[in-house]
Chains A and B, each alone.
Chain A
Amino acid sequence: QQPVQSPQAVILREGEDAVINCSSSKALYSVHWYRQKHGEAPVFLMILLKGGEQKGHDKISASFNEKKQQSSLYLTASQLSYSGTYFCGTGDAGNNRKLIWGLGTSLAVNP
């Protein structure tokens, strides 16, 4: 039931792009993306809903593929500050506050 994130880890040079995927075995209703820096709390990045509604930060983009039961987070022109662990959490229509979280994707951006 826990969504599967891929890749588990990625290393980039500043300015490069990355895609992080979140796949669910259940039909998706909502996908929440958060970033956590080492020793800190997770911070909200984006939420996407079935049907297309979404909310997030301007510099972050993501997609929601209902058929594939997958969401992807797109990090373009990466900056050093993008380093951290990215988590996706999935919710269903019956209980959207109860999120099931993936194990995370570790991203390191080097100069």
Chain B
Amino acid sequence: DAGVIQSPRHEVTEMGQEVTLRCKPISGHDYLFWYRQTMMRGLELLIYFNNNVPIDDSGMPEDRFSAKMPNASFSTLKIQPSEPRDSAVYFCASSRAGTGAIYEQYFGPGTRLTVT
């Protein structure tokens, strides 16, 4: 079974440009998570979806960030306009509903974003 797929793997862009990160979760998984990882702040949950519906977006830094999940097999995270402080590794993860509160997340390989 293929794991979580993310594209692009690396993105270098100039400040002010729009950036779109893509994620394909594992087939059959009900939950999808977007994370940002930096040395200073560690791993931060930005938003998560359940059955394509956004459940908690309290971690989205500001209005420049938006995420969508139009169907069970695709999600995007968009940053518009991008700023240098957005430079980070962005991970997408997915999980099954699990048994009660027991579940494990499967992370994608990440997208390393550099904004100059």
Contacts and interface: CB of A to CB of B under 8 A. Distances in A.
Given A30-B101, A47-B102, A40 B109 contact: yes
Interface string B32-67: 010000000011110010100001101100000000
Contacts of B43: 42, 87, 89, 101
B104 A44 contact: yes
Contacts of B55: 97
Contacts of A2: 42
Q: Which applies to chain A's interface (DSSP): helix, strand, loop or mixed?
A: strand
Contact of A47 (B4, B45, B103): B103
Contact of B101 (A91, A101, A102): A91
Interface of B is mostly: strand
Given A41-B91, A97-B31, A87 B107 contact: no
B30 to A, nearest CB: 10
Contacts of A41: 4, 91, 107-110
Contacts of A53: 100-102
Nearest to A48: B102
Contacts of B116: none
A95 B56 contact: yes
Nearest to B58: A98
A103 interface: yes
A55 interface: yes
A102 B56 contact: no
A89 to B, nearest CB: 8
12 contacts: A30-B101, A34-B105, A41-B109, A41-B110, A42-B91, A42-B107, A49-B100, A53-B102, A97-B50, A99-B45, A101-B42, A101-B45
